[in-house]
């Protein structure tokens, strides 16, 4: 049978979707009792490049405007017909956008067909309003969303930057209307980001939203009181973002290629430049994950440019740009008349905040661990969807009644769960536990974070995992891995793993309340009660089997050390005890295993002493 893509179908009447209409990328999301999620496009893509290609003489009707990735792919070849960054023109007069024009490859005119005198776009002999172009993007996103719903999608919440004025907000509303959407609310992007984290439901707080996207940087200081947001100040730079980091790499590559070719400067054709820019972006993204990345470019005629760029080299290029964003933060704080210490929470937004350096810098500037649990490229759309759910009176997420609704823990050896924070604890709360490695010389440990009341991994809900690597090789059981769980006042879980001997660290942040309905939570609790006895036995068996592995390995090791210096009768006794234990291990008879294990452990005490004596003799 052919595989058909099966998709959840939401049956709600008149759904309200959330749209992040971005300068670089746009996204659509939806929120129900399970919390917000991104709705993906036909190729499962989560974001739609905010690019529209216009064909003024279309070969067929409806081929007039092409939106998203196909349009972006044409940006080089058909520069004057491909509209990007249209958000920069929304609701603006020509004079307002004059400084932008140098960056836009298409023609901008004041001959707006709506007669408003606002800036419009000229393609061939036709003129388009920025609203029309934005409407094409909104229509595309509505089309992405529609297959998720049984009923027509007609309503949307759309986000705009906090500094957008009335004209810009109105232009955004008009774009929605042109796309056939009723814009039920225009929400500030930083407010949406805070909503995505559910900060409207936590205590009164002052929040900084640091948004570093592709072409823009925004810092907003918000105050939330009794669920209502107020913008205290905004600052930023409309010409600072990830594109500049790409440019920095591009400039480095260009100058090195020039040097290699022994010329002072090379003029690459635009298509080559565009390719190099893509390339530079890939290197940048790779450096968010790895300490170095390799660049290799074929220069033709058998020549090749190849070098590896380290994170440190890259940082040297962009450090001043990040410092500039922090200066803006200072300014915003001053305008709001507060100090960094008065900021309770920092929310990270925008693809460029994936960069570990940015997270570190922002974290130390505000002296708090910034929120990164939600994908920074998606968080604004998620928040728009949350606003939609609030307006539709959907009871989103598990209601946080100031307590942890389900236990939180990690996977341990053999598929059992060690609970660090148990259900019902009041928030904020924290827990610490020391673990170790199970293999000799193990240098990496996977930390799998789970939620639920059951004893086995397979019956709990996986919240995510990460790897603590860079542990210096040590004997099994020697590393001290401290795993720390922290649930803050907003219910956000931070998991940190530290190897205490070496200080290596790794961390993960999660919003544990997303993905489950209240009914599912209740169901999970009921299941744990129903299965309490079997679960306890299963967990006990796993622990016993782990103990068997550990103890028999220790005995084997001691036997090797002692060698022939052992009384043959004692050796036979130990071997038979080990055989018994190993034979019982796969059975379900926990008591029998326990008895055999205890017998073996008692008998092997003398062997342990022999091994120590032997080791000391051999010194
Ligand atoms: P905008 O709000 O301007 O639409 P986005 O939030 O979509 O922008 O961010 C896009 C920017 O994020 C691009 O410059 C892209 O290269 C950058 N980016 C995406 N992923 C990463 C990553 N893993 N590391 C560094 N930069 C990234
Ligand atoms: Mg953005």
- What is the distance between the alpha carbons of residues 238 and 23, in angstroms, rounded to a whole number? 10
User: What stretches of 477-569 adopt beta strand conformation (E)?
Assistant: 481-487, 493-499, 505-510
189 is catalytic: yes
Ligand 1, atom nearest to 24 Cα: 4
> Token pair of 112, please?
């707006």
The one catalytic residue among 132, 211, 243, 344: 211
| 535 catalytic residue (yes or no) | no
Cα separations (Å) of 453 from 31, 430, 538? 26, 18, 14
pLDDT for 252: 92
3-state secondary structure of 120: strand
289 CA → ligand 1 middle, Å: 14
Q: How far is the CA of 494 from the centre of ligand 2 (A)?
A: 24
Which ligand 1 atom sits nearest the alpha carbon of residue 245? Answer: 14
How far apart (Å, rounded) are the C-alpha atoms in residues 466 and 405? 23
Point out the ligand 1 atom lying closest to the alpha carbon of residue 376: 6
Confidence tier at 60 by pLDDT (50, 70, 90)? low
| Pocket probe mutation, ligand 1, options 321, 377, 381, 384, max atoms within 8 Å of Cβ | 377
Residues 87, 284, 419, 423: which is the catalytic one?
87
The edge-to-edge listing of strands for the beta sheet with 65-67 is 65-67, 51-54, 82-84
How many residues make up the chain in this entry? 619
Does residue 31 have a cis peptide bond before it, meaning omega lies within 30 degrees of 0? Answer: no
Confidence of residue 400 (pLDDT cuts 50, 70, 90): low
| Token pair listed for 219 | 């810092």
Condensed to tens digits (0 to 9), the pLDDT of residues 261-287 reads 888 777 777 777 777 888 899 999 999
Contacts for 592 with CB less than 8 Å, ≥ 6 apart = 584
What's residue 105's pLDDT?
Answer: 84
> Which residue's CA is the closest to the ligand 1 atom numbered 8?
213
Contact present, 424 and 471 (Cβ < 8 Å): no
Q: Is-contact 130 121, C-beta < 8 A?
A: yes
d(Cα 344, Cα 327) in Å, to the nearest integer? 19
- Beta-bridge partners for 403: 426
Pocket of ligand 1 (CB under 6 A): 22-25, 213-216, 241-243, 281, 284-285, 288, 350-352, 354-355, 377
For the chain, how many helices (H) and strands (E)?
14, 26
Atom of ligand 1 nearest to the CA of 288: 24
pTM: 0.88
CA distances from 388 to 17, 391, 392, 515 (A): 6, 5, 6, 17
| 351 C-alpha to ligand 1 centroid (Å) | 3
Query: Which atom of ligand 1 lies at the shortest distance from residue 287's CA?
Result: 24
- Specify whether the CB–CB gap between 196 and 383 falls below 8 A: yes
| Sequence-ordered list of residues with C-beta below 8 angstroms from that of 172, at least 6 positions apart, any chain | 21, 90, 91, 134, 158, 160, 164, 183, 186
Report pLDDT for 397: 57
Q: Please, are residues 376 and 27 in contact by the beta-carbon 8 Å criterion?
A: no
Report in angstroms the alpha-carbon separations of 531 from 41, 371, 408, 516: 41, 36, 18, 20
- pLDDT digit string (tens) for 100-111? 887 888 999 988
Nearest protein Cα to ligand 1, atom 24:
285
Strand locations in 330-480 (E): 345-349, 408-412, 416-421, 429-435, 444-451, 461-469
Tokens of 113: 């067909």
Q: How many CA atoms lie within 13 A of 219 on its CB side?
A: 25
Residue 88's Cβ-side half-sphere holds a number of Cα atoms within 13 Å equal to 26
User: Tokens 């020391």 identify what position?
Assistant: 434
Question: Coil, strand or helix: which one is 133?
Answer: helix
How far apart, in Å, do the first and last CA atoms of the chain sit? 70
**Ramachandran sector of residue 143 (left: φ over 0; alpha: ψ -120 to 50; beta: rest):** alpha
Q: How far apart are CA 129 and CA 161, in angstroms?
A: 20
Res. 401: pLDDT tops 80? no
pLDDT digits (tens, 9 = 90+) for 402-449: 889 899 999 998 889 999 999 999 999 999 999 988 888 899 999 999
Q: Is 526 exposed, middle or buried (0-12, 13-18, 19+ CB in 10 A)?
A: exposed
> Average pLDDT, stretch 299-318?
90
How high is the pLDDT of residue 1?
Answer: 43
Report which protein residue has its CA nearest ligand 1's atom 18: 351
Q: Are 516 and 398 in contact (CB under 8 A)?
A: yes
- Catalytic residue list contains 132: no
Taking the CA of 288 as reference, the closest ligand is: 1
- Closest by CA to 406, choosing from 514, 269, 566, 271, is 514
Pairing of strands 182-188, 155-160: parallel
Which ligand has the shortest distance to the CA of 214?
A: 1
pLDDT given for residue 619 in this prediction: 73
* 132 CB-near residues (< 8 Å, 6+ apart): 175, 178
**pLDDT above 90 for 150:** yes
Tell me the per-residue pLDDT of 566-601, one tens digit each, with 9 for 90 and over: 888 989 998 999 999 999 999 989 999 999 999 999
Helix or strand run (H / E) with residue 31: strand 25-32
Alpha carbons 585 and 18: distance in angstroms, whole number: 54
Residue 3 clears pLDDT 50, i.e. is over it: no
Ligand 2 centroid to residue 249 C-alpha, Å: 22
- Dist. CA 474 → ligand 2 center (Å): 45
Question: Closest residue (by CA) to atom 4 of ligand 1?
Answer: 24
Measured CA to CA, the distance from residue 53 to residue 66 in angstroms comes to: 5
3-state secondary structure string across 562-611:
HCCCCCHHHHHHHHHHHHHHHHHCCCCCHHHHHHHHHHHHHHHHHHHHHH
Sign of the dihedral through C-alpha 224, 230, 231, 232: negative
CA of 91 to the centre of ligand 2 (A): 18
Two structure tokens written together for 157: 């919440």
Return d(Cα 418, Cα 520) in angstroms, integer: 22
Q: Is the pLDDT of residue 4 over 50?
A: no
Q: Provide the pLDDT for residue 5.
A: 52
Question: What mean pLDDT is reported for the chain?
Answer: 91
CB count in 10 Å sphere of residue 403: 13
Answer whether 209's CB lies under 8 Å from 244's CB: no
pLDDT band at 398 (very low <50, low <70, confident <90, very high): low
DSSP codes joined into one string, 311-368: HHHHHHHHHHHHHHHHHHHHHHHHHHT--GGG--EEEEESGGGGSHHHHHHHHHHHTS
Is 87 one of the annotated active-site residues of the chain?
yes
Please give the backbone phi and psi of residue 480, each rounded to the nearest 5 degrees, phi first: -105, 105
Alpha-carbon distance 513 to 379, whole Å?
16
Tokens coding 209? 């939203």
């Amino acid at each position: 049978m052919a595989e058909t893509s099966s998709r959840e179908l939401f049956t709600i009447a008149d759904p309200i979707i959330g749209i992040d209409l971005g300068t670089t990328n746009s996204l659509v999301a939806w929120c129900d009792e399970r919390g917000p999620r991104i709705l993906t496009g036909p190729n499962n893509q989560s974001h739609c490049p905010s690019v529209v290609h216009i064909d003024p003489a279309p070969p067929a009707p409806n081929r007039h405007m092409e939106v998203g990735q196909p349009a972006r792919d044409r940006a080089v070849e058909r520069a004057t017909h491909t509209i990007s960054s249209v958000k920069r023109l929304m609701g603006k007069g020509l004079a307002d956008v004059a400084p932008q024009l140098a960056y836009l490859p298409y023609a901008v005119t004041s001959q707006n067909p709506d007669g408003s005198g606002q800036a419009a776009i000229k393609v061939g002999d036709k003129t388009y309003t920025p609203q029309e172009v934005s409407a094409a993007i909104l229509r595309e996103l509505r089309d992405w969303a529609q297959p998720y719903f049984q009923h027509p999608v007609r309503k949307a919440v759309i986000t705009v930057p906090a500094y957008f004025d009335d004209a810009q907000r109105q232009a955004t509303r008009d774009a929605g209307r042109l796309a056939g959407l009723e814009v039920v609310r225009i929400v500030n992007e930083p407010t949406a980001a805070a909503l995505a984290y559910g900060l409207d439901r936590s205590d009164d707080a002052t929040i900084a939203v640091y948004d570093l996207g592709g072409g823009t940087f925004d810092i907003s200081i918000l105050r939330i009181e009794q669920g209502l947001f107020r913008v205290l100040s905004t600052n930023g730079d409309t010409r600072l973002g990830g594109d500049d980091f790409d440019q920095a790499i591009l400039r480095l590559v260009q100058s090195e290629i020039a040097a290699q070719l022994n010329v002072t400067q090379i003029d690459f054709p635009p298509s080559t430049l565009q390719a190099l820019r893509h390339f530079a972006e890939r290197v940048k993204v790779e450096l968010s994950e790895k300490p170095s990345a390799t660049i290799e470019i074929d220069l033709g005629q058998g020549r090749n440019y190849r070098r590896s760029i380290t994170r440190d080299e890259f940082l040297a290029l962009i450090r001043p740009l990040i410092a500039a964003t922090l200066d803006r933060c200072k300014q915003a704080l001053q305008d709001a008349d507060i100090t960094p210490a008065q900021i309770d929470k920092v929310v990270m937004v925008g693809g460029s905040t994936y960069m570990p350096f940015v997270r570190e810098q922002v974290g130390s500037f505000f002296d708090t661990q910034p929120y990164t649990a939600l994908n920074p490229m998606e968080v604004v759309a998620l928040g728009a969807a949350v606003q939609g759910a609030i307006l539709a009176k959907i009871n989103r997420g598990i209601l946080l009644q100031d307590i942890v609704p389900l236990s939180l823990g990690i996977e341990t050896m053999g598929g059992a769960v060690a609970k660090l924070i148990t259900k019902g604890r009041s928030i904020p709360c924290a827990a610490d536990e020391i673990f170790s490695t199970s293999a000799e010389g193990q240098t990496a440990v996977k930390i799998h974070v789970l939620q639920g009341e059951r004893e086995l991994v397979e019956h709990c809900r996986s919240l995510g995992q990460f790897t603590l690597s860079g542990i210096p090789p040590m004997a099994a059981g020697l590393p001290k891995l401290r795993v720390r769980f922290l649930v803050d006042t907003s219910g956000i879980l931070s998991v940190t793993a530290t190897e205490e001997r070496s200080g290596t660290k790794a961390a993960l942040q999660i919003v544990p309340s997303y993905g489950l309905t209240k009914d599912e939570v209740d169901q999970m609790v009921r299941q744990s009660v129903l299965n309490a006895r079997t679960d306890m036995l299963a967990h006990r068996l796993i622990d016993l089997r782990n103990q068997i592995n550990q103890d028999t390995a220790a005995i084997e090791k001691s036997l090797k050390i002692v060698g022939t210096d052992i009384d043959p009768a004692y050796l036979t006794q130990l071997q038979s005890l080990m055989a018994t234990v190993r034979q019982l291990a796969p059975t379900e008879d926990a008591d029998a295993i326990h008895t055999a294990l205890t017998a073996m452990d008692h008998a092997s005490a003398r062997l342990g002493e022999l091994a120590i004596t032997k080791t000391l003799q051999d010194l």
